[in-house]
Chains A and B, each alone.
Chain A
Amino acid sequence: MSASTFGSGIRRREDPRLITGSATYTDDINLHGTLHAAMLRSPYAHARIAGIDTSQASQAPGVVAVYTAADTEGELAPAPCAWLLPNSELKIADFHCLAKETVRYVGDIVAVVVAESQYQACDALDLIEVDYEPLDTVVEPKQAAATNAPQLHAGIEGNQAFHWTVTGGGDIGEAFEKADVVVSETIVQQRLIPNAMEPRAALASYKPATGELTLWSTTQNPHIVRFLCSLVTNVPEDRLRVIAPEVGGGFGSKIAVYPADFITVFCSKRLGVPVKWVESRTENYQATTHGRDHIQEIELAATADGKITGIRATVWAGMGAYLSTAAPGIPTILHGLMLSGVYDIPAIHEDVYGIYTNTTPVEAYRGAGRPEATFMLERLVDLLAAKIGADPAEIRRRNFIPKFDDGHDVVTGLTYDSGDYAGALGKLLDEAGYAQLRADQAAARENGRYIGLGLSTYVEICGLGPSQVAGAIGFQGGLWESAILRFHPSGKVHVMIGASPHGQGEETTFAQIVAGELGVSPDDVKVIHGDTDNTPMGWGTYGSRTTAVGGAALALAARKIREKAKIIAAHLLEAAVEDMDYEDGKFFVKGSPDSSKTIQDIALMANVAWNMPEGVEAGLEATSFYDPPNFVFPYGAHLAVVEIDPETGHVELKRYVAVDDCGPQINPVIVEGQVHGGIVQGIGQALWEEAVYDEGGQLLTGSMLDYAIPRADRLPDIEVHSTVTPSPHHPLGVKGIGEAGTIASTAAVYNAVIDALQPLGVEGVRMPLTPERVWRSIQDVQERN
């Protein structure tokens, strides 16, 4: 096998265990003597706790213990927020693992029951008497920022968690004063529920004799869990082992380290036995983090011929009742810094207000800040096109950043790595047959049919990121990755890597990287991840960074191995190192490829060490730490085609065409799968999904019965294409593809629907674009006229 494995769509090595039901997720682990925890969660969105009586519950069959906040005093610190956004007047309210005195959202934990079975633990929850004194609630961020709104946290005026600003380029006021054309809109980026198919779970096993604790966790980032869990529970980091076994999707909802996780650790520590907690889907909806929840007031200034001269925005970002682990960075760094998008924009200004509300905390959700930025821009650009009567494709071309291959600065302060945005759009229009589609659309309108075309051109910030930048933006960790690559005597390879994929397929991708660098078969490479005792440090899988950053660390480790192997090969072939050549797993003296040593020969010699060059250590192993010099910036262009039935408001998604550029594709089949899944999640936001609270803070979409997750029968086949533009600063040139689809597709579908409704005079509809909303918007226009 050879370097050609890199770039091949080989089958995933993860799959045999997954398709046979033999994979082990956290809830599948059964330790002898495990007790089961169940959390009592507040049914009120805001209330004072006047008293808790656990006496009856404590006597219930099978119950071993019931704990409230009073029991954890001094033993559980508040759940930390780990993104301390600078220059933002950040005010972090204590997120107590078990609520003290006050509950602030439906789902806040009030007590925990530990029992011999899960059924018994749940039974006992009903026997806990809590005396709640309800308080006024507020669930919408702009209302929560108003002066007369109920206050969630003492000393945090206006419920304002932070106020962050990005200003770049020329004078924004002047841009708008001198503009020939101004378009504006208010967008509600509705709150979404991530819905990883595996509910969250924790299994903690404390050994009193040694003070060691193992925590199996449904996490995207086991090393971060270890770090934060040690701080909160006082189990020293060296005694704490966190294992992310098989993890069933995350989409951002398994980044945070949650109160329930810490409580489970506390229970195991207190009782000296394993304790397992598994959330129900109802709990998942109430208490596992949500995403989005922005109200965006946006405007764009342009010249008469459609050249953008400025973007100005004010965003109210609902943060929920507390700040989740990484929450402050999502609507700010990952959103505001991306406001130039794929366009050359000379002046940008945005104010972002992070606001506490009586709702579930928000976190990263696939795309995390970038879908919200892309949507703003793509709406504004379409509004501009409509205003000046230009085709949306043409208005984009007029404003694209010209093709660049080694860095381009935008006014928000970022330096994009490489891009050819017009190239991606051109390919999209060709593949989709755009001109014909426009002709078909015009003909359909003549026949009273409402067909719409929607474009979305995007760039995303991925491969997070340089650790120096992480420090500067208040992220309380590094953002490098590390890998250990070890050859065994038989030439087989172990990779121990800090990154922790959870469904994306990087066990396969990583093996392909090693195969490409060292000429071994990917079948000879075992990839070990997700266990803090057996892997080097890693900062987690999010921000499309695992292949981009972890993969780079692995490639560099492989290159170190190659250098050492070359020295050993030179010694064995009695040649000078500088005379050695390498190709496809073989080392040979330049010009004499017939006399060679394979990497396997060298692995054997290095391991037995019978005949090593002087001064060279035994073993064939390398560790690499890769701290990226910059982010990577994947991009692309998407098109949606919809048809609307004006009688019912039903939106039919007829076609979806995507062109994405994530650089060289290590495994194009896996890339395509990521694109499919990402696009469908974005379509879900455009058409169906929304977390709805009533005024009292009750989550009305509290189950899969009420929250509309995309289903198989509602979707067309997605047409996937790509261009390949390597990142100039990355060892493999790769950029990341996990979030691209979601970042692009919501705007594409939305723009298509508005395009379809244009003859009916509808200019905007609040997402999701349900039949009722679309139908009402048509009726509203007709009533006005």
Chain B
Amino acid sequence: MKIPISVQINGRQYDREVEPRLLLVHFIRDTLRLTGTKVGCDTSQCGSCTVLLDGVSAKSCTCLAVQADGASITTIEGLAGTDGLHQIQESFWNKHGLQCGFCTPGMIMASQELLRCNSDPSDEEIRHGLEGNLCRCTGYQNIVRAVRDAAGSMEGGSQ
């Protein structure tokens, strides 16, 4: 049995029929071939699969594709639009906020949520805000720097 769903991802409409059990992350990666969103665990711990679901961050491995029917989703591929890099991406680059890059799409999407909720976070608030995303390479310090840098650069601007 397949169920029709209609999802807007990065501004584009996708109408597909999916198995009820298909995870949203597999729908994004395997059905739509948007492979920037990653799968790093099977228990919702690592946050590599974080996307924006109707503007709010969500772990797409913990959501069924059918639950996203009618939703608007932003993945890492759609964060910046067509005009270059989003400020958070730029800041991760400038502050060496990544090494192997596997956690990075999820980390950037989680940072977007963090800054949406708090445009001027302290280091402690950044660390607390990103505790649901794991990185094994950086020790987080440069990720914190990157988010702080992004907050400073985005101040007063639209998010």
Chain B, Cβ-Cβ closest to A11: B93
In the assembled complex, which residues on chain A have CB atoms less than 8 Å from the CB atom of B93? Answer: 11-12, 15-16, 19
Q: In whole Å, how far is A649's beta carbon from the nearest beta carbon of chain B?
A: 21
User: In the bound complex, do residue B139 and residue A282 qualify as a contact, i.e. CB atoms below 8 Å apart?
Assistant: no
Chain B, Cβ-Cβ closest to A15: B93
Give the dominant DSSP class at B's interface.
Answer: loop
With A19-B85, A196-B136, A280-B42 as known contacts, state yes or no: A676 contacts B98, CB within 8 Å. no
User: In the bound complex, do residue A15 and residue B42 qualify as a contact, i.e. CB atoms below 8 Å apart?
Assistant: no
Q: Is A730 in the interface zone, CB < 8 Å from B?
A: no
Partner of B40, one of A30, A197, A503, A718: A197
In the assembled complex, which residues on chain A have CB atoms less than 8 Å from the CB atom of B75? Answer: 21
How far is A19 from B76 in the complex, measured between Cα atoms in Å?
A: 8
In the assembled complex, which residues on chain A have CB atoms less than 8 Å from the CB atom of B29? Answer: 28
**Could you tell me which residues of chain A, from 521 to 566, have a CB within 8 Å of some CB in chain B?**
none
User: In the bound complex, do residue B40 and residue A198 qualify as a contact, i.e. CB atoms below 8 Å apart?
Assistant: yes
Q: Is A18 in the interface zone, CB < 8 Å from B?
A: yes
With A18-B98, A677-B136, A709-B134 as known contacts, state yes or no: A704 contacts B80, CB within 8 Å. no
Mask of A1-35 contacts with B, CB within 8 angstroms, 1/0:
00000000001101111111111110110100000
Q: Is B65 in the interface zone, CB < 8 Å from A?
A: no
Q: In whole Å, how far is A47's beta carbon from the nearest beta carbon of chain B?
A: 25
In the assembled complex, which residues on chain B have CB atoms less than 8 Å from the CB atom of A680? Answer: 139-140
User: In the bound complex, do residue B38 and residue A198 qualify as a contact, i.e. CB atoms below 8 Å apart?
Assistant: yes
Surface stretch bound by B, among A151-159, A242-250, A459-467 = A242-250
In the assembled complex, which residues on chain A have CB atoms less than 8 Å from the CB atom of B130? Answer: 712-713
Chain B, Cβ-Cβ closest to A705: B43
Q: Is B12 in the interface zone, CB < 8 Å from A?
A: no
User: In the bound complex, do residue B41 and residue A198 qualify as a contact, i.e. CB atoms below 8 Å apart?
Assistant: no
How far is A248 from B131 in the complex, measured between Cα atoms in Å?
A: 20
Q: Is B159 in the interface zone, CB < 8 Å from A?
A: no
User: In the bound complex, do residue A20 and residue B100 qualify as a contact, i.e. CB atoms below 8 Å apart?
Assistant: no
In the assembled complex, which residues on chain B have CB atoms less than 8 Å from the CB atom of A402? Answer: none
Q: Is B4 in the interface zone, CB < 8 Å from A?
A: no
User: In the bound complex, do residue A505 and residue B99 qualify as a contact, i.e. CB atoms below 8 Å apart?
Assistant: yes
How far is A25 from B137 in the complex, measured between Cα atoms in Å?
A: 16
User: In the bound complex, do residue A19 and residue B134 qualify as a contact, i.e. CB atoms below 8 Å apart?
Assistant: no
How far is A139 from B87 in the complex, measured between Cα atoms in Å?
A: 50
**Could you tell me which residues of chain B, from 72 to 92, have a CB within 8 Å of some CB in chain A?**
75-77, 80, 85, 89, 92
Q: In whole Å, how far is A676's beta carbon from the nearest beta carbon of chain B?
A: 4
Mask of A642-683 contacts with B, CB within 8 angstroms, 1/0:
000000000000000000000000000110110011111100
User: In the bound complex, do residue B41 and residue A704 qualify as a contact, i.e. CB atoms below 8 Å apart?
Assistant: yes
User: In the bound complex, do residue A248 and residue B100 qualify as a contact, i.e. CB atoms below 8 Å apart?
Assistant: yes
User: In the bound complex, do residue B136 and residue A673 qualify as a contact, i.e. CB atoms below 8 Å apart?
Assistant: no
Q: Is A119 in the interface zone, CB < 8 Å from B?
A: yes
In the assembled complex, which residues on chain A have CB atoms less than 8 Å from the CB atom of B92? Answer: 15, 19
In the assembled complex, which residues on chain A have CB atoms less than 8 Å from the CB atom of B99? Answer: 249, 503-505, 673, 677
User: In the bound complex, do residue B46 and residue A503 qualify as a contact, i.e. CB atoms below 8 Å apart?
Assistant: no
User: In the bound complex, do residue A676 and residue B142 qualify as a contact, i.e. CB atoms below 8 Å apart?
Assistant: yes
User: In the bound complex, do residue A25 and residue B102 qualify as a contact, i.e. CB atoms below 8 Å apart?
Assistant: yes
User: In the bound complex, do residue B89 and residue A20 qualify as a contact, i.e. CB atoms below 8 Å apart?
Assistant: yes
**Could you tell me which residues of chain B, from 12 to 42, have a CB within 8 Å of some CB in chain A?**
19, 21-22, 29-30, 33-42
With A21-B75, A281-B40 as known contacts, state yes or no: A717 contacts B100, CB within 8 Å. no
How far is A541 from B124 in the complex, measured between Cα atoms in Å?
A: 35
Partner of A246, one of B101, B126, B131: B101
Q: Is A195 in the interface zone, CB < 8 Å from B?
A: yes
User: In the bound complex, do residue A676 and residue B141 qualify as a contact, i.e. CB atoms below 8 Å apart?
Assistant: yes
Partner of A712, one of B21, B85, B140: B140
Q: In whole Å, how far is B26's beta carbon from the nearest beta carbon of chain A?
A: 8
Chain B, Cβ-Cβ closest to A678: B139
Partner of A676, one of B39, B101, B138: B138
Q: Is A251 in the interface zone, CB < 8 Å from B?
A: yes
Q: Is B94 in the interface zone, CB < 8 Å from A?
A: yes
In the assembled complex, which residues on chain A have CB atoms less than 8 Å from the CB atom of B80? Answer: 20
How far is A197 from B143 in the complex, measured between Cα atoms in Å?
A: 16
User: In the bound complex, do residue A251 and residue B136 qualify as a contact, i.e. CB atoms below 8 Å apart?
Assistant: yes
How far is A670 from B34 in the complex, measured between Cα atoms in Å?
A: 29
User: In the bound complex, do residue B141 and residue A703 qualify as a contact, i.e. CB atoms below 8 Å apart?
Assistant: no
In the assembled complex, which residues on chain B have CB atoms less than 8 Å from the CB atom of A712? Answer: 126-128, 130-131, 133, 135, 140, 143-144
User: In the bound complex, do residue B45 and residue A248 qualify as a contact, i.e. CB atoms below 8 Å apart?
Assistant: no
In the assembled complex, which residues on chain B have CB atoms less than 8 Å from the CB atom of A710? Answer: 139-140
In the assembled complex, which residues on chain A have CB atoms less than 8 Å from the CB atom of B137? Answer: 197, 249, 503, 673, 677
In the assembled complex, which residues on chain B have CB atoms less than 8 Å from the CB atom of A280? Answer: 42
How far is A196 from B34 in the complex, measured between Cα atoms in Å?
A: 22
Q: Is A312 in the interface zone, CB < 8 Å from B?
A: no
How far is A524 from B39 in the complex, measured between Cα atoms in Å?
A: 34
In the assembled complex, which residues on chain A have CB atoms less than 8 Å from the CB atom of B98? Answer: 15, 18-19
Partner of B100, one of A28, A249, A711: A249
User: In the bound complex, do residue B102 and residue A248 qualify as a contact, i.e. CB atoms below 8 Å apart?
Assistant: yes
Q: In whole Å, how far is B6's beta carbon from the nearest beta carbon of chain A?
A: 22
Q: In whole Å, how far is B105's beta carbon from the nearest beta carbon of chain A?
A: 5
With A12-B96, A677-B139 as known contacts, state yes or no: A713 contacts B42, CB within 8 Å. no
User: In the bound complex, do residue B101 and residue A503 qualify as a contact, i.e. CB atoms below 8 Å apart?
Assistant: yes
**Could you tell me which residues of chain A, from 187 to 233, have a CB within 8 Å of some CB in chain B?**
194-199
**Could you tell me which residues of chain A, from 270 to 298, have a CB within 8 Å of some CB in chain B?**
280-282
Q: In whole Å, how far is A125's beta carbon from the nearest beta carbon of chain B?
A: 14
Q: In whole Å, how far is B30's beta carbon from the nearest beta carbon of chain A?
A: 8
User: In the bound complex, do residue A21 and residue B143 qualify as a contact, i.e. CB atoms below 8 Å apart?
Assistant: no
25 residue pairs bridging A and B, Cβ less than 8 Å apart: A11-B94, A14-B101, A15-B93, A17-B101, A19-B92, A20-B36, A21-B34, A21-B37, A21-B75, A23-B101, A24-B35, A196-B136, A246-B100, A248-B100, A503-B100, A503-B102, A677-B99, A677-B136, A677-B138, A679-B139, A703-B42, A709-B45, A712-B126, A717-B144, A718-B141
* B residues in contact (CB < 8 Å) with A: 19, 21-22, 29-30, 33-43, 45-46, 48, 75-77, 80, 85, 89, 92-94, 96, 98-105, 108, 123-124, 126-128, 130-131, 133-144
Other than the given A503-B100, A718-B141, 11 more pairs (CB < 8 A) read A12-B93, A15-B98, A19-B98, A119-B19, A249-B100, A503-B137, A676-B139, A676-B140, A678-B139, A712-B143, A713-B130
* A residues in contact (CB < 8 Å) with B: 11-12, 14-25, 27-28, 30, 118-119, 194-199, 246-249, 251, 280-282, 502-505, 669-670, 672-673, 676-681, 703-705, 709-713, 715, 717-718
Which 9 A/B pairs are nearest by Cβ-Cβ distance? A21-B36, A503-B100, A18-B101, A248-B102, A680-B139, A21-B76, A704-B45, A676-B139, A28-B35
